[in-house]
Chains A and B, each alone.
Chain A
Amino acid sequence: MTREKMWTTRREAMALLSGAVAGVAFGGDVRAQGTPKRGGILRISAPTNPSSLDPATGGAGSDHAFLFTMYDTLTEWDFETLKPKPGLAESWSFSDPTTFVLNIRPGVTFHDGTPLDAEAVKFNLERNKSDPKSNIKADLATMASASVTGPMQVTLKLNALDAALPGILSDRAGMMVSPTALKASAAGNVARTPVGAGAYTFVSWADGEKIVIKRNEKYWKPNRPYPDGIEFAIIPELTTGVRSVTAGQNDLIYQLPPRQKVVVERSKDLKVFNGPTLYVFQIFLNWAKPPFDDIRVRKAFNMAIDRESFVKAALAGLAEPAYMNLPKSHWAYDKSVAALTPYDPAQARKLLAEANFKEGTTIDLVGYPDQDSVQRQEILIEQLRKAGISVRFLNAPIAEASAAFFGAEKRGSGLLAAWTGRPDPSLTYSLMFTKDAYYNGGRGAVPPELEAAIKESRASEDVQIRTKAFATVQRLVMENAFVAPLAFQFELVAMNKKVQGYRPNLLGKPKYDDVWLES
C-alpha cells in the first residue's frame, strides 16, 4: 500500500510527513473535508478505565485521552512538533531567569461558573505542588512559590530557570480544576466529579464501562466543540473494540497496536489515521551491574539491533526506527546523534571480544508476556544471536516486571518496555538518566557532563540554546549507550466515515479539538 493511502487527504499527509510544515493553517485539514457541523454524539472505544479524572491524583498516561476533553491546560502544544502555544494562558515570559509570568486569558469560566482567574490558577499550581496525593509534585519541582500579581496574572518564583515549564503546563500540571469544586469535595480531589474549563463537561462515569460528557456551551474557543457530547465505551480487549467500530456501535477507536492495521484496513467503512508519536519501544539497561556495567557491552548490544528490520517485522512498518529518545519530527531532534548507533554486528562482536564477554553467556532481560511483546522479543533474540549475544527473557505482567526491574529487586539486566511521551524532552531525560531517577533501574552513576547538560536544557528559554543542550544530552546518552531505543510507534486510530477533522499528534495521546460528525 502506498504511504499516502494511510491518510485520508493528501493535505494531511503533507502536514504529517514534514513536521516542519507547522505553517499549515489550523483549519486547513478541516476545510479539506467539508464544512464542520455541530451536533451528534461521538462514540469512542477507549482501551482503559482512567485511573482518576483528577489530573493531580491520577497516574496513568492513558488518562489524558479523557482529561484533555474536560480540562483545558495553561499552555497547549502544536500537534506536529509539540512546541508549546497559548492555551488558558494567553502569553508567558521569564521576566528574569527565576521569575515566570503567566497572563491568563480573560472571560473563561469553569463548568460550575467559577471564574478562571489568577486566584484559580495559583490555587491549582499550589495544590499540584503540595497536596499529599498529588502525583505531579515533581513536575513543579522548580516552582518555589506562586503569587497573584494582577487579576489575570500569576507570577511564579523559581529555584532555577526552568525552560521546561511551558511544556510542563501543557500536561497534567497545567490542567485547571475548579477551586470551588475542590474545596467542596470531601476527599480533596475531584477524581469522580471532574470540574474543569475544557470543551466538554462531565456527565457520568461507570467504572470499566462508560464515561459520558457533553458540550460545554460556554467554552472559550469559538464554535468548539462541534459534537453535542462524547461517549467513551471502555473496552480493554482491542479486537473487541475494533469489532464495536466495524459493527457501528462506536465511531472511533484509538491506541491500536500495529497488528490491527490489516484488520481495520480490510473494512471498507473505516478510515485509518496514523502518525509518529513519542511512544518509544526501548530496552532499559541496568548499567550498575554486569554485563552492562561495561560500556563496550552496552554499545555492542545497541549495534547488534537492526532497527529497520525490527520495525518491519514487529510493528508492521508502522513506526520510526529509534536511535535516541526523540523522533525526527520533534523540535529538539539532532540528526548527527542517529549515526552513533549503526547496525553493525561485526563491530559488536569486536567490542564484545575486547570486553572479554564470552560468546554464549546468557543475558537475562525482563519482559511482558503478551502476544505482541513476545513477538518483539523473538525478533530481538534472533538479531542479537547474530552478534554472538544470547539473551533470555524473564516475562511477567507489566506491574510485576516494572517493579522487579526498577524497584528494589533489580531483576534482570534490561527491561524491554516502552517510554511514553513527555511534553518537554528534559523530563524524559531527567527521569531516566540521572543518578537517582526511578527509571534508571540500577541507579547507576552517570557522567557529570550528562547531568549538567540535562540541567542546562532547562536553564534557558531560548529555543536554539535548548536545542543545543538537548543535542549534547542525546549524544552523551547514546555515546554511553545507557538505553537501547528501538522504534517510535505510530499512533493508529480507526474511525467510521462520519468522523471528520481528526488529527494525529506527536504526543500520541488523542485530542478531539476539531472533530465533527457528518450526519
Chain B
Amino acid sequence: MARRSPAKVIGGRLLQALPVILLATFMVFSLLKLVPGDIAVTLAGDNATDARIEEIRKVYGLDRPFLVQYGTWLGNAVQGDLSQSLLSGEKVATSISRAFPNTLLIVSIALLLALATGIPMGIVAAIKPNGWVDKTVSMVASLGVAIPGFWLAMILVAEISLKLNWLPATGAKSFAVSPLEAIRHALLPGIAIAAYGMAEVARQLRGSLLEVLSSQYVRTLHAKGLSMTRILWQHGLKNVSVNLFTIISLLVNRMLAATVVIEAVFAIPGLGSLIVRGAIQRDFPIVQGVVFTMVIVVIMVNLIADLLCAAVDPRIEQ
C-alpha cells in the first residue's frame, strides 16, 4: 500500500479542520447570543435608560441581525483580524498573544510532570501486577483522579507559598523576559493540573502494558530467554507508545480546559481567565478569539499525535 507523503496528510487534516473551526465559533457565538444578558447594558453604564441602551446597540452595531454580526466577525477573522474587545477596545489578537504563552507554559509543565511521574509509576505497577507496588500506585492514581485540581491548588498555595514562601502565590511572568521566574510562577499551577494527568498516565500505561506483557509473543520472547528489562524496553513500551500518544493528546486538551479554573485560583492572565472574562461580560469578540485559538491548538495536538502514532505503528492508515 503506497503511503501518502506527510505534507499531503497534514494539508488534508488542516482542510478538515476548517469546518470544525467554523462550527465551533458559530456555536459559541450562538450560545453567547442565546444566553440572556447583554453587553449593551454593560456598555451603556450605570445610569442607563432603555433609550440609551437602544442607542448603544446602534452605535456598536449590536442591533444588526445575528448572522450579519457573525458574518462580520468571520470576514474579519479570515483576513487575520480577530477584531477588538467591545468593552476595553484592546485588540483580541494582542490579548491572546499575551495570554497564550502563560497558558502554554502551565500546560507544558503539567504535561512534563505528569509524564515524568506517571510513566515510571505505570511501568513499576505493570511489572508485578497486584503486588504492593502496584497497589500503592493504584491508590495514588485514584487519589490523583479524585482530588479536584482547584482544591489541590489552594492547599499548595497555603503550604508552599504562604507558609514556606518557596514559590509565588499568584501571577505570571513572561517566559521571554525571565525564563526562570516564569517557571517559578507556573510551577504550582502546573503541579495542580499535573496530578490528574499523572494518575491518568499511570493507570492507562499499566493497563496497556499488562495487556502486551500477557500476549503470546511476549511469552515467546520469554521462552527465547530475553531478560524482562529487554522485553519491557524493546517490545513492551514500543507497543504501548501508540496508546501513550493518544493519552497525551487527550490529556493536553483536558489540561487546556482545566486552566480555566486553575488560572483563576492563581490569578494567571492566560487563555482561561481571558475566556471567562469575555463570557461573563458577553464580550463576544474575546470569547470567539479564544475559542478560535483553542480549536486550532486542539486540532494541532491531535494531528501531531496521529502523525507520531503512524510513525511508530505503520499499520495505522494515515
Task: Mark A residues whose CB is within 8 Å of B.
Answer: 49-52, 58-61, 132-133, 135-139, 187, 189, 191-192, 205-210, 233-237, 239-241, 243-244, 246-247, 249, 396-400, 402-404, 407, 409, 420, 427, 431, 436-438
Q: Please give me the residue from chain B that is nearest to A250 by CB atom.
A: B170
Residue interface mask B2-30, A partner, CB < 8 A = 1: 00000000000000000000000000000
Residue interface mask B33-68, A partner, CB < 8 A = 1: 001111101111111111011010001000000000
Give 22 pairs: A residue, B residue, CB < 8 Å, sorted on A: A59-B42, A59-B44, A59-B45, A60-B46, A132-B55, A132-B59, A135-B47, A138-B52, A189-B89, A192-B88, A208-B99, A208-B274, A210-B269, A236-B273, A240-B170, A241-B267, A243-B162, A243-B170, A396-B36, A402-B41, A407-B50, A427-B47
Is residue B281 contacting chain A, with contact meaning CB distance below 8 A? yes
Q: How far is the CA of A206 from the CA of B101 in the complex (A)?
A: 14
- If A187-B89, A241-B267, A399-B42 touch, whether A438 touches B171 (CB-CB below 8 Å) is no
Q: How far is the CA of A409 from the CA of B157 in the complex (A)?
A: 44
A135 touches B48 (CB 8 A): yes
**Minimal beta-carbon separation of B302 from chain A (angstroms):** 29
B47 touches A236 (CB 8 A): no
- If A49-B277, A397-B280, A399-B41 touch, whether A138 touches B169 (CB-CB below 8 Å) is no
Q: How far is the CA of A457 from the CA of B240 in the complex (A)?
A: 80
Q: Out of B39, B94, B265, name the residue touching A237 (CB < 8 Å).
A: B265
**Minimal beta-carbon separation of B192 from chain A (angstroms):** 13
Is residue B207 contacting chain A, with contact meaning CB distance below 8 A? no
Q: Please give me the residue from chain A that is nearest to B267 by CB atom.
A: A235
A396 to chain B: which residues have CB within 8 Å? 36-37
A400 touches B37 (CB 8 A): yes
A208 touches B273 (CB 8 A): yes
In this complex, how many residues of chain B approach chain A with their Cβ under 8 Å: the count is 49
A136 touches B277 (CB 8 A): no
B45 to chain A: which residues have CB within 8 Å? 58-60, 135-136
Q: How far is the CA of A246 from the CA of B38 in the complex (A)?
A: 36
B59 touches A133 (CB 8 A): yes
B157 to chain A: which residues have CB within 8 Å? 243
Give residues of chain B (141-191) contacting chain A, Cβ–Cβ below 8 Å.
154, 157, 161-162, 165, 168-171
Q: Please give me the residue from chain A that is nearest to B153 by CB atom.
A: A240
Is residue B284 contacting chain A, with contact meaning CB distance below 8 A? no
By DSSP majority rule, is chain A's interface helix, strand, loop, or mixed?
loop
**Minimal beta-carbon separation of B291 from chain A (angstroms):** 17
**Minimal beta-carbon separation of A518 from chain B (angstroms):** 21
Q: Please give me the residue from chain B that is nearest to A401 by CB atom.
A: B37
Q: How far is the CA of A389 from the CA of B242 in the complex (A)?
A: 64
Q: Please give me the residue from chain B that is nearest to A172 by CB atom.
A: B45
A431 to chain B: which residues have CB within 8 Å? 47
Q: Please give me the residue from chain A that is nearest to B172 by CB atom.
A: A209
**Minimal beta-carbon separation of B286 from chain A (angstroms):** 9
Is residue B238 contacting chain A, with contact meaning CB distance below 8 A? no
- If A236-B264, A247-B170, A400-B37 touch, whether A59 touches B52 (CB-CB below 8 Å) is no
Is residue B219 contacting chain A, with contact meaning CB distance below 8 A? no
Is residue B282 contacting chain A, with contact meaning CB distance below 8 A? yes
Q: How far is the CA of A249 from the CA of B87 in the complex (A)?
A: 28
A404 touches B36 (CB 8 A): yes
- If A233-B171, A237-B267 touch, whether A399 touches B281 (CB-CB below 8 Å) is yes
A399 touches B88 (CB 8 A): no
Is residue B95 contacting chain A, with contact meaning CB distance below 8 A? yes
- If A52-B89, A403-B36 touch, whether A240 touches B44 (CB-CB below 8 Å) is no
Q: How far is the CA of A398 from the CA of B44 in the complex (A)?
A: 15
Extra A-B contacts (19), CB below 8 Å, given A233-B170, A243-B162, A249-B170: A49-B277, A59-B43, A135-B47, A138-B47, A192-B89, A208-B269, A233-B171, A236-B273, A236-B277, A240-B264, A243-B157, A244-B170, A244-B171, A396-B36, A403-B37, A403-B38, A404-B36, A436-B49, A438-B48
Is residue B90 contacting chain A, with contact meaning CB distance below 8 A? yes
A52 touches B87 (CB 8 A): yes
Best-buried of A61, A396, A400 by chain B (most CB within 10 Å): A400
A191 touches B170 (CB 8 A): no
Is residue B85 contacting chain A, with contact meaning CB distance below 8 A? yes
B88 touches A52 (CB 8 A): yes
Is residue B266 contacting chain A, with contact meaning CB distance below 8 A? yes
Is residue B222 contacting chain A, with contact meaning CB distance below 8 A? no
Q: Please give me the residue from chain A that is nearest to B86 by CB atom.
A: A51
**Minimal beta-carbon separation of A393 from chain B (angstroms):** 16
A438 to chain B: which residues have CB within 8 Å? 47-50, 52-53
Give residues of chain B (264-300) contacting chain A, Cβ–Cβ below 8 Å.
264-267, 269, 273-274, 276-277, 280-282
Give residues of chain B (99-157) contacting chain A, Cβ–Cβ below 8 Å.
99, 154, 157
**Minimal beta-carbon separation of B264 from chain A (angstroms):** 5
A407 to chain B: which residues have CB within 8 Å? 38, 41, 50
Q: How far is the CA of A233 from the CA of B85 in the complex (A)?
A: 19
**Minimal beta-carbon separation of A271 from chain B (angstroms):** 18
A191 touches B267 (CB 8 A): no
Q: How far is the CA of A254 from the CA of B280 in the complex (A)?
A: 21
B95 touches A207 (CB 8 A): yes
Q: How far is the CA of A60 from the CA of B281 in the complex (A)?
A: 11
**Minimal beta-carbon separation of A206 from chain B (angstroms):** 6
A237 to chain B: which residues have CB within 8 Å? 264-265, 267
B50 to chain A: which residues have CB within 8 Å? 407, 436, 438
B36 touches A139 (CB 8 A): no
**Minimal beta-carbon separation of B265 from chain A (angstroms):** 6
B281 to chain A: which residues have CB within 8 Å? 399
- If A49-B277, A59-B42, A208-B269 touch, whether A247 touches B168 (CB-CB below 8 Å) is yes
B88 to chain A: which residues have CB within 8 Å? 49-52, 191-192, 205, 207
B95 to chain A: which residues have CB within 8 Å? 207-208
Best-buried of B45, B95, B269 by chain A (most CB within 10 Å): B45
A233 to chain B: which residues have CB within 8 Å? 170-171, 267
B59 to chain A: which residues have CB within 8 Å? 132-133
Q: How far is the CA of A61 from the CA of B276 in the complex (A)?
A: 20
B39 to chain A: which residues have CB within 8 Å? 399
- If A236-B264, A240-B170, A399-B41 touch, whether A209 touches B46 (CB-CB below 8 Å) is no
